[in-house]
Each structure stands twice: as structure tokens, then as C-alpha cells.
């Protein structure tokens, strides 16, 4: 019987470094947000106001902006055309809050304008969510039962989930560019505040890069294990 170990050499060489990188990125986004959450915007712009302004500029005036519970749980829901801003962002006039809110409004602008990667990601999301849940169990079961068809299906499922993360990157970076452009052209933030908002959004974007790196490392690991088992 083939044996699948969760801590093989490929896990140590590929996955662990990627996970450490992801942890560093997560710490950085938290630290950066915390730093600029203490910096109040000179014009007193709140997260809610920034989101509505970006929506207005981005042809997404019908998008609803509402307050939700949690910390950094901010998101845009294309199904309901709603932006949910966490309690630490909605009514807060800080540079961090404005940056995060404007970013989510950037997603609303993408959806309103039919931004292709955003639409593709929305279409793929339900399927890849299921595929990502089944991928690892199928790989493990395939190795345990010596059924390489299951291993291959699991790897293909995992590759599909990885592809979604690849598509997510331009969506996130584009949303930030849209947000920063409106914050600057709309005179909502001055030059110094704009630099702070950019740092917050860059740190947040790096968490998506890190997540993609973890998935790529895991995918390469599965491929290398499968190749070795077939020899």
C-alpha cells in the first residue's frame, strides 16, 4: 500500500516556507492597519463616505454600503450589490478605514463596469470552492488505495482552486488602483495620507500573493509525490 505522509520532504521544503511567508504577510497587514487606524484624515472622511464616493465615481451608485460585525471582515457581495464594512471601518475617519472601504468600493466599480477578471472569478467561485474541499481528501484516498485516477482528479481539483487565486490577484490589485485613484482625484486624502492608504492596501494585497504561494507549493508537492509513486 502506498503511504501518504503529511510531513514529507516536499512539505518541509515547499509548503512550510510558503506558510511562514503567509504568516508574515498576515502579521504585516494587521500591523499596518493598526498603525494607520490611529491616523485621522484631516478632512474627517469616514469609511462609509469614502466607499460611497468611490462607488459614485465608478458607476456603482446603486451599491448599498452597510455596517457589519467583526474586524477586517469588509467585503463586496456582487449577488446583493452590497458593500459590508466592519465596525472598525464604517464610521471611522482614519486613513486605514478609508483605504479599506475605498478598496471594497473598487470591487463594486469593477462589477458595475463588467471588469472581466471580476466576472470570471464570480463565475468560478462556487465550483472551485467545492473542488478545493474535495482535492486533498481525494489525493490522500487515492494514495491510500493505490488508485492514481483519484490522485489525478484531486490534483486537477486543486489546480482549479489555484487558478482561482491567480485570477484573484489582478482583481485585488485593480480594485486598489481604482480606490487610490479616486481618493487622490477626489481630494479625499492629501499626499501623506494617500501614502498611508497605499501601504495598507499593499499589505492587504500581499496576503493574496501569500495564499497563492501556499497553494502553488502544495500543488507542486502533490505533483512531485505522484510522480515519485509512479516510478
Active site residues: 104
Radius of gyration of the chain (CA): 20
Tell me the backbone φ, ψ of residue 77, rounded to 5 degrees: -110, 105
Taking CA atoms, 32 is separated from 24, 61, 168, 186, in Å, by: 12, 30, 22, 24
Grid cell of 98 as nine digits: 478609508
Distance (Å, rounded) from C-alpha 202 to C-alpha 182? 16
Whether the CB-CB separation of 197 and 189 falls below 8 Å is answered with: yes
Amino acid at each position: 500500500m502506498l503511504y501518504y505522509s503529511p510531513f514529507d520532504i516536499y512539505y518541509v521544503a515547499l509548503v512550510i516556507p510558503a506558510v511562514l511567508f503567509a504568516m508574515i504577510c498576515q502579521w504585516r497587514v494587521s500591523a499596518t492597519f493598526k498603525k494607520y487606524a490611529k491616523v485621522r484624515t484631516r478632512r474627517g472622511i469616514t469609511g462609509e463616505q469614502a466607499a460611497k464616493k468611490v462607488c459614485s465615481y465608478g458607476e456603482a451608485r446603486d451599491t448599498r454600503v452597510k455596517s457589519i460585525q467583526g474586524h477586517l471582515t469588509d467585503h463586496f457581495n456582487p449577488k446583493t450589490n452590497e458593500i459590508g464594512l466592519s465596525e472598525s471601518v464604517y464610521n471611522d475617519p482614519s486613513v486605514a478605514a478609508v483605504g479599506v472601504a475605498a478598496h471594497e468600493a473598487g470591487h463594486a466599480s469593477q462589477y458595475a463596469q463588467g471588469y472581466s477578471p471580476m466576472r470570471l472569478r464570480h463565475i468560478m467561485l462556487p465550483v472551485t470552492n467545492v473542488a478545493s474541499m474535495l482535492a486533498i481528501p481525494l489525493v490522500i484516498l487515492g494514495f491510500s488505495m493505490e488508485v492514481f485516477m483519484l490522485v489525478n482528479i484531486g490534483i486537477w481539483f486543486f489546480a482549479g482552486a489555484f487558478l482561482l487565486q491567480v485570477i484573484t490577484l489582478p482583481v485585488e490589485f485593480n480594485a486598489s488602483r481604482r480606490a487610490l485613484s479616486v481618493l487622490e482625484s477626489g481630494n479625499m486624502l492629501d499626499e501623506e495620507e494617500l501614502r498611508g492608504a497605499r501601504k495598507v492596501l499593499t499589505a492587504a494585497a500581499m496576503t493574496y500573493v501569500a495564499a497563492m504561494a501556499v497553494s502553488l507549493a502544495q500543488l507542486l508537492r502533490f505533483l512531485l509525490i505522484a510522480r515519485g509513486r509512479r516510478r
